[in-house]
Amino acid sequence: MVTAQRYPVPLKETRVELMIVNSRFIASLAPVFNVEEARAFIERIRKEFADATHNVPLYRVGFEPSVIEHCSDAGEPAGTAGRPALAVLRGSGLGDVAVVITRYFGGTKLGTGGLVRAYSDSVRAVLAETRRAERVTCHTVMTVLPYRLLERVRILAADANGQILDESFGTDVTITARFAVENLPAFQAALREWSNGEIQAEIIETAEVLMPVQGQ
């Protein structure tokens, strides 16, 4: 049976802006699933805001106990930007996440403590707007069934927390559905029971899928 560690990751890219003592802070966040993706995201934001005073990068790839972390002060005084921002990101509990905090200097110096607060608050602000998901290893399956079982199979799929991806109608009905690997056996057992052992779903693909966390 295929298994994988589940942990929270961002569902999609998110961005927020803050004005702090005349400086403009833009926090851009994205899901990244390896170091190359993290670096590519950081470079994309740097190019987008090439005229900014600073673009402070940080990322966490993977999840405890195996996680790769990186941060940089990007020209701010040592210890005032990257490390405090990464500490906030680490405390969020997210894995596979990259953030770039862009600063346009507004003419008023913030001081060491002010910079630490500004970069930390920028990460908190973008995290507050970030929808969460889980990386879930899923089976995509296909099954062919008579029309009389269609409604029952829809119910069985829902009971197993499955997602019906497609229904094709011909002489019979062909259903394509997706299940977390641990939920498929229950669906298969119910399908055999309701069809008197005549119908079984065939696995056509196994892959990791981002699934939104319920309640968000």
Q: Taking CA 81 as the corner, what is the angle to CA 23 and CA 56, rounded to the nearest 5 degrees?
A: 75
Residue 13 lies in a domain: yes
Sign of CA pseudo-dihedral 197, 199, 203, 209: negative
Residue 1 lies in a domain: no
Give dist(CA 162, CA 139) in Å, integer.
Answer: 10
- 96 secondary structure, DSSP code: S
- The structural domain count of the chain equals 2
Give dist(CA 138, CA 179) in Å, integer.
Answer: 5
pLDDT score at 145: 92
| Residue 178 · residue 137 · CB < 8 Å | no
Same domain, 103 and 143: no
Instruction: For residue 65, say if its preceding peptide bond is cis, omega within 30 degrees of 0.
Output: yes
We report the CATH number of the domain holding residue 142 as: 3.30.70.240
Residue 153 lies in a domain: yes
> By residue range, what is the domain housing residue 44?
8-130
pLDDT score at 18: 96
pLDDT score at 47: 97
Give dist(CA 213, CA 134) in Å, integer.
Answer: 7
Residue 2 lies in a domain: no
Dig out the tokens for 122 from the structure.
């920028």
Dig out the tokens for 125 from the structure.
């602000």
Residue 177 lies in a domain: yes
Instruction: Indicate the pairing of strand 54-63 with strand 97-104.
Output: antiparallel
Residue-by-residue pLDDT tens, the chain, 216 positions: 444 567 899 999 999 999 999 999 999 999 999 999 999 999 999 999 999 999 999 999 988 888 999 999 999 999 999 999 999 999 999 999 999 999 999 888 899 999 999 999 999 999 999 999 988 889 999 999 999 899 999 999 999 989 999 999 999 999 999 998 999 999 999 999 988 888 999 999 998 887 777 555
Same domain, 191 and 115: no
Domain boundary among 87, 108, 130: 130
pLDDT score at 5: 63
Q: Which amino acid belongs to residue 191?
A: L
- 81 secondary structure, DSSP code: S
CA 31 to chain centre: 5
Dig out the tokens for 73 from the structure.
């002060």
Does the pTM exceed 0.85? no
